[in-house]
Amino acid sequence: MRAALGLLGVAVAAYGGWLLVTRTDTDQLVDAGVWLASGVVLHDAVLTAVVLAGAALALRLLPRPARAPAVVGMVVFGSLTLLAVPVLGRFGARDDNPTLLDRPYLASWLVVAGVTVLAVTGASLVRSQRRPRAEQED
């Protein structure tokens, strides 16, 4: 069953690649390649560096129960922020089409930030209430 699903996935990907190459202008292919490469660079160079620096800082400043939730929160929030950059910057907005980018993206991003902070805080509080296993066995 796995082999059949894997073969189906390869076939669908090959068909999509064939459609991309045969039905797309060269300029669009280059733009798609730049967009894909930029995503990898942003993730690997920017987000990873920021999360590692934040994790190093968290190790020094935060109490032990808050460290893991804070790092997870940084990864989640960093990824969502990178995804939101185009709409937060309103790239692609046009005066002749007001229906493009017509949502309250900044407010939505702030809600995600608040939910992330609440989740990290809640997870930290739950972890701080747990006693270490060595103390539970005594």
Who contacts 124 (Cβ-Cβ below 8 Å, separation ≥6)?
63, 65, 66, 69, 70
Position 17 in a domain: no
Q: Would you put residue 62 in left (φ > 0), alpha (ψ -120 to 50) or beta? A: beta
Position 21 in a domain: no
- Is the Cβ–Cβ distance between 51 and 44 less than 8 Å? no
Position 4 in a domain: no
What is the pLDDT, as a whole number, of residue 111?
96
What is the pLDDT, as a whole number, of residue 138?
44
For 46, the domain range is 26-137
Q: How far apart are CA 96 and CA 115, in angstroms?
A: 35
Position 12 in a domain: no
pLDDT confidence of 132, banded at 50, 70, 90? low
- 131 pLDDT above the threshold of 70: no
Number of domains in the chain: 1
Position 7 in a domain: no
- The alpha helices in the chain, defined as continuous H runs, are 2-22, 26-41, 48-61, 64-88, 105-129, 133-137
Mean pLDDT of 47-74: 87
Nearest to 18 by CA among 33, 3, 7, 29: 29
Share of the chain above pLDDT 90, in %: 35
Position 19 in a domain: no
> What are the pLDDT digits (tens) for 74-128?
888 888 888 888 888 888 788 888 888 888 999 999 999 999 999 999 999 999 9
Q: What is the mean pLDDT of the chain?
A: 87
Q: How far apart are CA 46 and CA 42, in angstroms?
A: 5
Whole-prediction pTM: 0.64
Mean pLDDT of 22-40: 86
- 130 pLDDT above the threshold of 70: yes
Position 92 in a domain: yes
Position 11 in a domain: no
